[in-house]
Chain A
């Protein structure tokens, strides 16, 4: 699946996007975020406070129970500050 990161999540993780192949048991957004946090210190720092992480699957906002699949584009980012 394609992962995209924005704003300070991007800078802490150290890249804006990547393609990852999580283990088969990672079936929801919540499980994915918990798994990502184990991939390295940058990921752990970016995902330390989950209240500050928003997730979009295929460009729509979703909650932690949302299912994920191999073809999805999943974006993680902080609360938005436009306007």
Chain B
């Protein structure tokens, strides 16, 4: 399931409900991304605003989910990604995957995050005491996604 939404979410409640009742599940792996308030050598973050491309976001996330399901035997996939203004400490993104065994769950979770970071059309605007600035993309994010192409996770 893909959810692109503005309000904050309860990480514990989401993970608690994920896959409940399906006794074929032997493993759930998850990743939660939070708004980081402090970074060495930078002014403290006041807020983070995520802009996105409604429609394309859901389309790209669905494509990423389909790829993951094609590569690993997954029971279920949950991706929640927020947009709008959020404060340090709030969750931005949650990815959870369930499978019979841990390896598929771990790998698929990392794959989903790596691809999401390079394909899902979101942009971060950081607000600090110095003003607001768009976050630049990182080359290592592209490298992280590329390694799945070469088959060496």
Contact = CB atoms under 8 A, between A and B. Distances in A.
**A and B are partners in one complex rather than unrelated chains:** yes
Interface of A: 4, 6-8, 10, 56, 59-61, 75, 77-83
9 contacts: A4-B53, A6-B51, A6-B52, A59-B53, A77-B123, A80-B118, A81-B135, A82-B93, A83-B122
B53 A82 contact: no
Contacts of B33: 83
A82 B116 contact: yes
A47 to B, nearest CB: 16
Interface in B95-124: 113, 116-124
Contacts of A7: 51, 123, 125, 134
B137 A82 contact: no
A61 to B, nearest CB: 8
A83 B116 contact: yes
Interface in B1-56: 33, 50-53, 55-56
A64 to B, nearest CB: 18
A77 B123 CA distance: 9
A75 B50 contact: no
A11 to B, nearest CB: 8
Contacts of A61: 119
A39 B137 CA distance: 27
A58 B93 CA distance: 25
Interface string B59-74: 1100000000000000
Contacts of A78: 123, 134, 137
A80 B56 contact: no
B141 to A, nearest CB: 8
A26 B136 CA distance: 30
B77 interface: no
B137 A77 contact: no
B86 interface: no
A79 B137 contact: yes
Contacts of A10: 51
A10 B55 CA distance: 17
Contacts of B53: 4, 6, 56, 59, 75, 77
